[in-house]
Amino acid sequence: MAELPGSVSIREVGPRDGLQNEEPIPTDAKVRLLDALSRTGVRRIEAVSFVHPKAIPQMADADEVWQRAEKVDGVRYSALVPNTRGAQRALAAGFTEIEVVVSASDTHNRRNVNRSTDESLDDIAELIDLLHGAGATAEVIVATSFGCPYEGDVDPRRVAAIVDRVARDGADRVAFGDTTGMGTPRRVRELVTAVRDRNAHLPVLLHFHNTRGTALANMLTAMELGITEFDASVGGLGGCPYAPGASGNLATEEAVHMLHDMGIDTGIDLDALIEAAELAETLVGKQLPSGV
């Protein structure tokens, strides 16, 4: 086995990616969950997304949630935006770390935003300039990096070409989303290698779903390749699973348990995280995939 890192950074995405894929819950509940997670020792949290309320009603109260949330020193909070209007709202709210998304699969991108991948990349180039002009950083998330529900396999060279483009346009970092849960250790190795061969300087984060039970194996493979930044969602919230009974997002507490057992530091208090997962389960009113 390759040498593993001594520490790993987890970005908690439950408040945004998790709740966005669940039935809407009250603003008070969202604030309670965000505050509980801020006190677990996690160093990064994806707090909200600034999207049109008709498109994503779960995030209709993003401004109020963020305004009321406790901001804990040492925690980096980020927001997801779909377009210029969303970016302007995020900047006005005080965010300095902002994420935008494009799909590696052209079909998936058209189904999501009614435009081609190349057209979205043109928009993202303008967004990057806007964010940098306001003193914020831009992370480009490449969805369907490991496979598409419409096109099937996605060639790692296509993903690497997208990274080439956003790197030229000034992206500060990139993330790769396993949107369908098709990721396997082989696919992780091929994708990371393809990207690193061409843009070794660019910080990389991986976002795994556990739909087919491979998320922890994928994380381990990525760590062997030198990746130290990952997304995870408390309790396994959200993730849009594509198989009956299968979970979606990688559960943060499962990832942290594995990492700590391997002697890899995350800075996270596992007991506090489990309490946050129990709270999340109560707030959404159903048993979550991690089974806390």
**What residues form DSSP beta bridges with 9?**
229
Which residue, chain included where needed, has tokens 């996690």?
Answer: 42
Cα R_g (the chain), whole angstroms: 18
Q: For residue 1, what are the CA distances in angstroms to 7, 228, 258?
A: 17, 16, 16
Distance (Å, whole) CA 173 – CA 5: 19
Which residue type occupies 237?
A: L
Does 148 participate in catalysis according to the annotation? no
Q: How many Å apart are CA 256 and CA 113, to the nearest integer?
A: 34
What does the DSSP assignment read for 188-235?
HHHHHHHHHHH-TTS-EEEE-B-TTS-HHHHHHHHHHTT--EEEEBGG
Bridge partners for 174 per DSSP: 140, 204
How many CA atoms lie within 13 Å of 108's alpha carbon, on the beta-carbon side? Answer: 22
Which one from 121, 240, 246, 272 is the annotated catalytic residue? Answer: 240
Q: Which amino acid makes up residue 139?
A: E
What does the DSSP assignment read for 112-153?
Answer: HHSS-HHHHHHHHHHHHHHHHHTT-EEEEEEETSS-BTTTB-
Instruction: State the Cα–Cα distance between residues 273 and 260, nearest whole angstrom.
Output: 13
As given in the structure block, the two tokens for residue 23 are 């039935």
What does the alpha-carbon distance between residue 71 and residue 180 come to, in Å, rounded to a whole number? Answer: 32
The C-alpha angle with vertex 146 and arms to 230 and 129, in degrees rounded to 5, equals 65
Question: What are the catalytic residues?
Answer: 240
